Amino acid sequence: MANRRWRIRLSEAAEQDLVVLLRWTSEAFGVRQAQVYRDTVIAALAALGDGPDVPGSRARDEILPGLRTLHVARGGRRGRHFVLYRLSDADSIEVVRILHDAMDLARHVPAEDPDPKGPQINQ
């Protein structure tokens, strides 16, 4: 279904990841670059509105069954973070974490269901 839009929810951990990475970017590279990078991450999150199998995504069942990753460096944008996500119900995608691509992803993904009550990104 081409017109279907998925709801995107951030776990508390993913929300905290975003705050930390933008704070670090601002301190290391300046406020303007943090705003550019925020837009890059938001574009990756918005792409999930088309569904979990968005081009460029990858199944990561070896980390956690049903987990997928999407690198934020896509569509000509540069970046060093993965969006880690999975289906939370029939019309929602839950972003579990937003992690730097040099990190050991499996080490930072909760083995249990994270709190799905995080903020929603409306499409």
Strand, coil or helix: 106 = helix
pTM value is: 0.84
Q: What is the largest CA-CA distance in the chain?
A: 43
Q: What is the pLDDT of residue 110?
A: 74
* Mean pLDDT of all residues in 79-94: 93
Reduced to 3 states (helix: H, G, I; strand: E, B; else coil), residue 83 is: strand
What's the pLDDT at 90?
82
Return the higher-pLDDT residue of 93 and 112.
Answer: 93
38 residue type, one letter: R
Which are the contacts of 20, defined by CB distance < 8 A and separation ≥ 6?
A: none
CATH number, domain of 55, equals 3.30.2310.20
Kindly report, residue by residue over 19-37, the tens digit of the pLDDT: 999 999 999 999 999 999 9
Tokens matching residue 38: 């925020």
- Poorest-pLDDT segment among 14-18, 44-48, 59-63, 101-105: 101-105
> In the prediction, which pLDDT does 118 show?
46
Specify the number of domains making up the chain.
1
Structure tokens at 16: 């905290």
| Segments forming the whole domain that contains residue 59 | 7-109
Does any domain span residue 24? yes
pLDDT at 104 over 60: yes
110 contact partners, CB below 8 Å, separation of at least 6: 13, 96
Task: Output the CA–CA distances (angstroms, integers) from residue 31 to 18, 34, 36, 76, in the order listed.
Answer: 15, 5, 9, 21
**Tokens at 91, concatenated:** 């019309």
**Are the C-beta atoms of 74 and 56 separated by less than 8 Å?**
yes
Evaluate whether residue 120 is within a structural domain.
no
